[in-house]
Each structure stands twice: as C-alpha cells, then as structure tokens.
Structure 1
Amino acid sequence: MDDEPAENISGGERGGGTFAESAPGDGANRAEAVVDRLGERYWQKTYGGRDAFECLVRTILSQNTSDKASQPAHDALMERYDGADADLAVALADAEQDELADTISSAGLYNQKSATIIRLAGEIVDDYGSADGFDEYVKDGDPNGVRDALLDMKGVGPKTADCVLLFAGGRDGVFPVDTHVHRIARRMGLAPADADHEGVREAIESSVPPEKCGFGHTAMIQFGREYCTARKPACLDDPDACPLADRCDQVGVYPETGELVDPSDAYEAE
C-alpha cells in the first residue's frame, strides 16, 4: 500500500460535511467514550450531501490504496468525464476502458477498477436513469433497502455501500469499517477479536449513538494513521504514548516483549 497521507480527507476540510458538536456520553459505554475522545482530538462532523454516484466512484478508486494515490485519480476522472452538460453515469457507461484506466492509473488496479466503474455506471443508467436518479434513491430511499441494492452490485462491498450511505445519504447510524477500523476496534476490545468486518460494524453501530457514527468512522481512521498503526502502534514502545491507552485492551499487542499479532491470532492462542 502507498504511504498514508497526513490527514484523512474524509474528516478534514476536503471531505465535505459540516462541523458540529455532540454531547459526550456518560462513559458507561466504552465504544461511545472512545468515539467521544476521538471527536475531541480530531473533529466532529455531520456528513451527507455528496453526489451518490461520484461517492461510489470515489470509494471504488480508494479500494486497496490510500487517499494520496486515489485522490489524483478521482480528480482526473472528474475533469475528463464530468462535463457541464453530461451526466457522469452516462459518460462513464460510454467510456472506453483503456482511456478510463489510463485516467485513473494513479489509484492502482486501474484495469480492474475501470471495468468495475464502467459496469456500475451502466447498471445505474439502466436502473435509475442517470446519476441524479441514483442520487435521489440513495438520499430518499429506505436505508436498509439502499444498502441491499448497493451490495447487490458486483464490486460493491459493505464498506463501499456504507460510505455511500454516510457521505452521500447522510444517514445516521452508519459506521463504515475499513482496515483501520477493523484493526482498532478489535485491538481495543470494542468488538470480538475474531470478528470480521461486518461483525465489527454491528458491534460498533449497536453501541455508538447514531449521530456519532459518521465522525467516529473518520476520526478512528485518523487515529489509526497517527497512533494505532498496523505494524507499530504507539503503545508498543511506550505504553503511555497512546491517548486512548486507558480505554484499550491491547489485544494482540505486547509491550513487554515487543510482540505484535493480529487480534484474532491472540484470541486463538488463549
């Protein structure tokens, strides 16, 4: 994977949404307490308002890569295909794959991603008429039905579907789970150590108030980049270096020996 950028753009100024403040919980729920503290450290935002099809494309471009690599690909795609009088879904459904692949090459896996984008654009034009029609469905449709419809699209997984629901639909109670969230929630003990991505999502969404899920997702990603990294979490060298040390079970992290394993491996070893 490419080096992570300095800031998670979904939570920063470029990520859209509106800065807001939410009331802290009473601390009885550890997952909410963690999200509250992350919000104080990074940002509290309400999300929604992005164009749903563009958000879908943006999330596909981000798969298996970083913001640093996928953002230029997104910008190049929008410059080439999002004309003033053209519907983006229609334009991409008619795109030549080799041209689109070249346009998004900085995102990696460009042949696979270009084929997925063209196919999804065609499905959306067939089923919703246009990007605008799809946007209306995502924002006004039943959220469970919208999520199911997104997951029925080949190439769209739970994280992509949830990002569309959050950043385009502005739906409360949606906590997308990427690799950072999956790792951190299990290390901290907010979800079972052997939980898959859907298990982590269900555990967090059942514990965190709906209005806090959006900024909890983006702030947890930033925390994963700064402190709870995959290969060298801050607590591995200094147990007091992590600002959430008092809320963490350190599953799979052993500062005494310097050993680090996946939480699921630590669970199996017990």
Structure 2
Amino acid sequence: MRDDSNPGRSESNANSNSDPDAKSDSDPEPAVNISGGTTGGGVAAEFNPASADTRAERVVDRLGERYWQKTYGGQDAFTCLVRTILSQNTSDKASQPAHDALIDRYGGSDVDLAAELGAAEQTQLAETISSAGLYNQKSEVIIGAAERVCDEFGSAAAFDAFVTDEAPGEVRETLLDVRGVGPKTADCVLLFAGGRSGVFPVDTHVHRIYRRLGIAPPDADHEDVREVLEDEVPTAKCGFGHTATIQFGREFCTARKPACLDDPEACPMADICDQVGVYPATGEVVDPAETVE
C-alpha cells in the first residue's frame, strides 16, 4: 500500500492550502524555539551531537538543541486516526478547521465518535470537512474506518485500548489494512495515540530532508526512509525527530527554496548535509530521486 497516496483531485481544493511547506497559523511551535525540558513544552532529554553514534542521530540531536520537545501518546486513538486522515495531502491550516467542524457536529464527551461517524451520511460529512480538500474521498475513508472500528472492536474506547496495549507490529498491520490508511497515518496513530517509542513517521518533509542530507538513498521511498531512521535513531528520540524535522523543513529545508541556496551557512545542518538535489551555484532544486542515473 502506498503511503497516504493521493487518490486523485476530483473535488475542489479551493478552500485548502496543499503546499506541504505551509505553516499553520495554529502551529503550536513558538516563533523563537528553545530546547525541551519541563519549561520548554515537553519532557527533559539530553541531545548531544558530539556523542551521537550515527549521522541521523546527530541531526536529531541538533534539532533537540533548537526546537521544543513534545510529549507523545495520550490522544484518543480513533480521533487521532481521523485527524491524520484529514491531514493527508493538505496543510494543518486547511485540515484543522475540518477537524474542528467534524468534532463540533459528531463529537462530544459522551459520544462514541466511531459509532457516530460509522452512521454518518457521506455527503453531510463531506460538507463538514470540505476545508481539508479531497473531502469526498476523505469522508468515505473516515466512514469506512469508523465502520471497521465498530465491527472489529465494538467502540472507539476499545480501539484506543488496542492501539495502546497491543504489540506495535500488530497495531500497525491492522491500521494498514484499513482502506485509505498508509504507513505515515498508521505510524502517527502509534506515536501520538499509543505513545510508542521507536516510531518515526515519514511525511513529505521527513522523506525529502533525509534523502537530501544523504542519510537515506536518494531514490528511497517513504518506507525505506522510515527503516533507515528507525534503525539509526535511538528509540527515545524517534518521536521528537519526526516533529522537529517537520519544523526544520518548514523553517530551513523547504521543498523549493532551502536556506542553503542563499547562504551556505544559514542552515544548521550545512556541515553534515550532502545537498542531494540542491545546487546553490545554479539555484536549481530537484527531488533527490532525479539525481539517480
């Protein structure tokens, strides 16, 4: 199964921002970032690039010196699944209002969201989440996922217990068997709902950056990049590595105009980056895969 592949753009995306480098106005990261710790948005951890065992860990450790840490786990698993489906092929700025509207219409503290969405009328749900783009496709996927959760687990609460308590491999395999759920979505549920260590979800930023750095092969697919990172980054740092790499991708290593194009020293990874597909001398930027002969 392809990772959250684009099933087509038959619906209008007029109300969405599909730029993968767009930053949400509600992004929880502050304008000026500091390291983690109890006063920095997460749990205390040590990041020491000098003692890193691999180049991938060295990158994550440098990110740890720059960005806020987050805590992982604790999100309701089905709500997290829905939220991640809504985020596919669009930005947080577009998908967050869709999520809020969905919860307003179908959610509530005493409501089983899976049961409500499993019984939802598809066109009404599509209208509710229209700001996320691809709303017809996503509404069908969400309803299908809700029906699957209700049929297999009985309730959203039971599904949450499954995600939290069962073996990560079994959870991931079950999630990947749901139509419309790819590896990134499954891994985000494992990380943000299950709180599982050693999970490094690969989105468009992560896929681009670690190939551009030369840590993963230039023609690696999303799963290849994930395997490299989960092998080379300590388990306790994988979750932070995912979220911090996204922030780094928004700030420095953007898809079209990475910081090194204007100033080789502007990027905090300049000395350990292979700049695969980035050519400062000409200003050309291509996908790393295009550099493979």
Cα shift at 1:8: 8.2
1:206 paired to 2:224? no
Task: Indicate the residue corresponding to 2:67 in structure 1.
Answer: 42
User: Number of residues paired by the alignment?
Assistant: 263
What is the distance in 1 between the residues matched to 2:204 and 2:68?
20
Task: Indicate the residue corresponding to 1:253 in structure 2.
Answer: 278
RMSD over aligned Cα atoms: 1.5
Choose between structure 1 and 2: higher helix proportion: 1
- The one of 31, 44, 62 aligned to 1:21: 44
What is the distance in 2 between the residues matched to 1:41 and 1:266?
30
What is the distance in 1 between the residues matched to 2:26 and 2:163?
24
Question: Higher mean Cα deviation, 255-264 or 101-110?
Answer: 255-264
**Matched residue of 2:292: which SS?**
helix
1:71 paired to 2:96? yes
Cα shift at 1:11: 6.0
Task: Indicate the residue corresponding to 1:5 in structure 2.
Answer: 23
Residue 245 to residue 34, structure 1, CA distance change in 2 (3 Å): same
Cα shift at 1:43: 1.6
**Matched residue of 2:205: which SS?**
helix
Residue 206 to residue 113, structure 1, CA distance change in 2 (3 Å): same
Cα shift at 1:147: 0.3
Trace 1:110-259 onto structure 2 (pairs within 5 A): 110-259=135-284
What is the distance in 2 between the residues matched to 1:221 and 1:95?
33
Amino acid in structure 2 at the alignment position of 1:84: S
Cα shift at 1:160: 0.2
Instruction: Give the TM-score normalised by the residue count of structure 2.
Output: 0.86
Q: Structure 2: 5+ residue runs without aligned partners?
A: 1-17, 31-40
Cα shift at 1:241: 1.1
What is the distance in 1 between the residues matched to 2:71 and 2:111?
30
Cα shift at 1:86: 1.8
Structure 1 runs (4+) deviating above 3 angstroms are 6-12
Task: Indicate the residue corresponding to 2:15 in structure 1.
Answer: none
Q: Structure 1: 5+ residue runs without aligned partners?
A: 13-17
Cα shift at 1:76: 0.6
What is the distance in 2 between the residues matched to 1:84 and 1:214?
28
Task: Indicate the residue corresponding to 1:61 in structure 2.
Answer: 86
1:89·1:131 contact (CA, 8 Å) conserved in 2? yes
Instruction: Give the TM-score normalised by the residue count of structure 1.
Output: 0.94
Deviations 1:4-53 (A, max 9, x none): 125784767xxxxx601222340341111100111221122330000000
1:88 paired to 2:110? no
